[in-house]
């Protein structure tokens, strides 16, 4: 396989979405759209942000082996549809934006997957970013901040970590990693 399966993780609010938008704007990547059982937030679009499905639909897809990986966090299921990723990988690099448990499952199934974790410059900055998003209650925000500690505790299992201090710099760093990895694959 000459194409990259890129898994981007990092705590909520670290800016993964913006980074991915910038990467997609450069072209050549397919972004996997996950399924989730959580409620749609303001500003989200069905089929673009997520496929918003019921718990029953999700569990049926699990039974049918329809997920490359899935996990249950924040009281909801989140999963990567297998078919889309496998089809796209035939012709393009594919980006998954998923949390650590899912990412490590992908690595087990596809050891060639490239795991990149985006880190916040500091935790207070992250707290501010999360609060600014304004889509969650204070309790939910706290829950997500606790989850941050867990996610960060897994960073040594990632192939790369990049700090999102300055957006364009961070995107450039990721692009360099991808270029290098792509080159290495050519010689496999
Ligand atoms: P949110 O509810 O803020 O959209 O996402 C919460 C977390 O779920 C984020 O860390 C996001 O990366 C993760 N996530 C989104 N889609 C998937 C998926 O398909 N699988 C897994 N394991 N995590 C996902």
Tokens matching residue 136: 């969650």
pLDDT value of residue 5? 98
- In short, whether 151's Cβ falls inside 6 Å of ligand 1 is no
pLDDT value of residue 142? 82
CA 78 to ligand 1 centroid distance, Å: 6
Q: What is the mean pLDDT of each run of 10 residues along the chain (188 residues)?
A: 94 90 94 97 95 98 98 92 96 96 96 96 77 76 83 95 95 97 87
* CB contact at 8 A, 124 and 47: no
- Kindly report the protein residue whose alpha carbon is nearest to atom 20 of ligand 1: 79
pLDDT value of residue 116? 98
Task: Put residue 10 in one of left, alpha, beta given phi > 0 → left and psi -120 to 50 → alpha.
Answer: left
Burial 8-40, CB ≥16 within 10 A → b, else e: bbbbbbbbbeebbebbeeeeebbbbbbbbbeee
């Amino acid at each position: 396989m000459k194409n990259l399966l890129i898994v981007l993780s990092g705590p909520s609010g670290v800016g993964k979405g913006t980074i991915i938008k910038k990467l997609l704007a450069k072209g050549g990547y397919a972004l996997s759209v996950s399924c989730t059982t959580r409620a749609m937030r303001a500003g989200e679009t069905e089929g673009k942000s997520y496929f918003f499905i019921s718990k029953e639909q999700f569990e049926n897809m699990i039974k049918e082996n329809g997920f490359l990986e899935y996990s249950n966090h924040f009281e909801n299921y989140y999963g990567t549809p297998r078919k889309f990723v496998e089809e796209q990988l035939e012709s393009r690099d594919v980006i998954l934006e998923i949390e650590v448990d899912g990412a490590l499952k992908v690595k087990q199934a596809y050891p060639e997957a490239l795991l990149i974790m985006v880190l916040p410059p500091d935790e207070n900055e992250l707290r501010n970013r999360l609060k600014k998003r304004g889509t969650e209650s204070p309790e939910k925000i706290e829950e997500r901040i606790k989850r941050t500690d867990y996610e960060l505790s897994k960073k040594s299992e990632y192939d790369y970590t990049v700090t999102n201090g300055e957006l364009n710099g961070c995107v450039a760093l990721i692009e360099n990693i991808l270029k290098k990895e792509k080159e290495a694959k050519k010689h496999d």
